[in-house]
């Protein structure tokens, strides 16, 4: 199949969103997992927000007939770049489009401090592709979902994030990861809410989108602070289920989630090229990093 890679245009967005839904749903169905996206319309909404963001480089793959067969995104918010979601139409997979879409974003991201992504651990084809591109496995993850019914500990306030919290969030992120993710945090889509936990007058945890696993990242001084911000986010959202990626090496937090009644949806893998510091403290990654 002859493939042409080009920048995404406004007229491409609907088709790209629907391909993303179809591709990820077909993959989940083959492996008996729940789909990543609830509907084609939700995927189109995400594609619309990605395309409209000047900090996200959006590209498509056309076949020889000029039909779109896939898309990919490079997140350029901060010093570390992030890839995804990359998706290929089910009837066009394993024919070279995915590799060319990856070639394009890797070339675009050359010279950055590093590039990261999250892939489904059961998708051996994508894991192999990313390994060939130089990505190293850094963290085993699970997507975990459910309602947390406990209480926020006394002395900790959980509330929606404010502009005045961002400096402390940046400091917390630097202490944990050695990098900042403030541009990503600032650009959390308006249909999602970010939360902070405040203890002794300072921010001790934040979660950017704890109800949508793909865009959520979180950092906390301790497991207790992470538990507090997640519990509070659930309470402030009318019992809406939490949904996030959890590094399973954080065994205490993992067991707490399970004991609270959350359930594992699927396994994933955090992969990275370039700069990567082992995190110091409690964290949750987004699909990007």
Q: What CATH number was assigned to the domain covering residues 4-112?
A: 3.40.630.30
Q: What pLDDT is recorded for position 181?
A: 83
Q: Is 3 helix (H, G, I), strand (E, B) or coil?
A: coil
Long-range contacts: 64-71, Cβ < 8 Å, 24+? 64/1, 64/2, 68/12, 68/15, 68/16, 68/19, 69/1, 69/3, 69/19, 69/97, 70/19, 70/23, 70/97, 70/98, 70/101, 71/8, 71/12, 71/16, 71/19, 71/20, 71/47, 71/101
pLDDT at 131: 95
Tens digits of residue pLDDT in 170-202: 999 999 988 888 888 888 888 889 999 999 999
Question: What's the distance, Cα to Cα, between the start and end of the chain in Å?
Answer: 32
User: Would you state the pLDDT for residue 96?
Assistant: 86
Rounded to an integer, the average pLDDT of 165-170 is 94
pLDDT in tens, 25-66: 998 888 888 888 889 999 999 899 899 999 999 999 999 888
Mean pLDDT of all residues belonging to the chain:
92
The CATH superfamily label for domain 145-284 reads Gcn5-related N-acetyltransferase (GNAT) (3.40.630.30)
Q: Residue 251 has what pLDDT?
A: 96
Task: Specify the pTM.
Answer: 0.90
Residue 32, CB-side half-sphere exposure with 13 Å CA sphere: 0
Same fold, 4-112 and 145-284: yes
pLDDT for res 281: 86
pLDDT at residue number 11: 96
Using one digit for the tens of pLDDT, what is the confidence trace for 91-103?
878 788 999 999 9
Read out DSSP for 67-114? -EEEEEEEE-SSSEEEE---EE-GGGTTSSHHHHHHHHHHHHHTTSSE
* Domain boundaries of the chain, sorted by first residue: 4-112, 145-284
């Amino acid at each position: 199949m002859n493939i042409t890679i080009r920048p995404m245009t406004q007229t491409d967005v609907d088709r790209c969103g629907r391909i993303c839904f179809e591709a990820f749903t077909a993959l989940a169905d083959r492996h008996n997992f729940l789909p990543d996206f609830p509907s084609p319309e939700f995927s189109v909404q995400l594609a619309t927000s990605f395309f409209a963001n000047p900090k996200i480089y959006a590209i498509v793959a056309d076949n020889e007939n000029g039909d779109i067969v896939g898309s990919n995104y490079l997140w350029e918010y901060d010093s570390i770049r992030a890839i995804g979601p990359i998706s290929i139409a089910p009837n066009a997979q394993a024919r070279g489009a995915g590799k060319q879409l990856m070639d394009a974003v890797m070339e675009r991201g050359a010279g950055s401090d590093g590039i990261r992504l999250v892939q489904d651990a059961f998708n051996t084809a994508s894991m192999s592709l990313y390994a060939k591109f130089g990505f190293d496995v850094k963290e085993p993850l699970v997507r975990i979902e459910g309602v947390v019914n406990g209480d926020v500990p006394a002395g900790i306030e959980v509330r929606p994030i404010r502009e005045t919290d961002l400096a402390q969030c940046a400091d917390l992120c630097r202490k944990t990861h050695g990098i900042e993710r403030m541009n990503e945090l600032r650009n959390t889509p308006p249909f999602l809410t970010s939360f902070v936990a405040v203890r002794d007058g300072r921010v001790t945890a934040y979660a950017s989108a704890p109800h949508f696993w793909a865009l959520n990242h979180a950092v906390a001084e301790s497991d207790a602070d992470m538990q507090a911000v997640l519990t509070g986010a659930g309470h402030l959202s009318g019992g809406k289920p939490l949904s996030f990626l959890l590094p399973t090496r954080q065994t205490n937090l993992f067991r707490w989630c399970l004991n609270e009644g959350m359930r594992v949806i699927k396994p994933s893998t955090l992969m990275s090229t370039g700069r990567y510091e082992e995190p110091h403290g409690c964290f949750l990654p987004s699909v990007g990093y």
